[in-house]
Amino acid sequence: MLKFADLFAGIGGFHLALSRSGFECAFVSEINDNARKTYAANFPTSVEKLTRRGHFVGDITLVDKQSVPKVDLVTAGFPCQPFSQAGRKLGFEDTRGTLFFEIAELIQAVQPKAYFLENVRNLDSHDGGRTIKTIQSVLGGDLGYSFQKFIVNAADHGVPQNRKRMFIIGFRDPSVFIDKPPPAPLQFDMSDILGGPVDKRIGHTLRVGGRRSGVADRRNWDSYLVEGVEKTLTPFQAKLMQGFPPDFAFPVSNNEAMKQLGNSVAVPAVEAYGRQIRAALGSF
């Protein structure tokens, strides 16, 4: 089975999606203790095996990249940091001191067949456009991989959430690219989620902060009118909007669970692109 390394792993959205796409997780890095608890609660067999091998780790900056096992795919839902102060070389040197450098260094060490990165949709404009330009320069120039970017809406992959993110995908063979997967119909809508008529079929993007601001607030993202009554999303409802299964567990407080979900990926969207990657890797 094809193997992947799960960097900036969060609660395991990539793990769940790629397991469904024909991959096996061989390495996990996540610095947040609460996220690690949720990850371990939902993938106990995998985490037990990874921990025994020293492959369920915390801070990626402390990891010897040469010690990471060989994998076919590296994934990362990484934070973006400005590269402005790093120089003007638009290459490896430009990323030193940023978390993206940790990904690039690991790719250089492990030489996976492909990478799959996720970030905010406006990464193109971040830091005046330097961030995405530098990322492409490193992945496509310094490391020699192909480079594609997609703006992906979770609502196009069966879940009722208007969540747009950038997926960045490339292959060690620079001639290999994937097609954008076809959209999938909604499997359920916000009325199904909230148990009564809602004026929106597709919900707001789940976020980390600003909870309970109320439907009248322009910053509202977690409150809806259900038959005239204002209701606030619960973690159970929010995880369905992200495409997690009903039995996905959160051994943390409800507030922490909502933060974790706001930071996570939409599972069906990652799964759809994971299948495209899996098919492309069949030609290697």
- Asked about 80 being catalytic, the answer comes back as yes
Spatial distance between the Cα atoms of 279 and 284, rounded to a whole number of angstroms: 10
- Give CA 284 to chain center in angstroms: 25
Handedness of CA 216, 217, 218, 220 (dihedral sign): negative
Spatial distance between the Cα atoms of 160 and 53, rounded to a whole number of angstroms: 39
Cα 45–Cα 272–Cα 4 angle in degrees, nearest 5: 40
For 56, residues 6+ apart whose C-beta sits below 8 A from its C-beta are 28, 36, 40, 47, 50
Question: Phi-psi category of 189—alpha, beta or left, where left has phi over 0 and alpha has psi -120 to 50?
Answer: beta
Kindly report the backbone phi and psi dihedral angles of residue 121, in degrees, each rounded to the nearest multiple of 5, phi listed first.
-65, -30
Supply 103's token pair.
Answer: 């990904």
From the candidates 80, 139, 169, 257, which is the catalytic residue? 80
Instruction: Report strand pairing: 114-120 vs 73-76.
Output: parallel
Residues with a catalytic annotation lie at 80
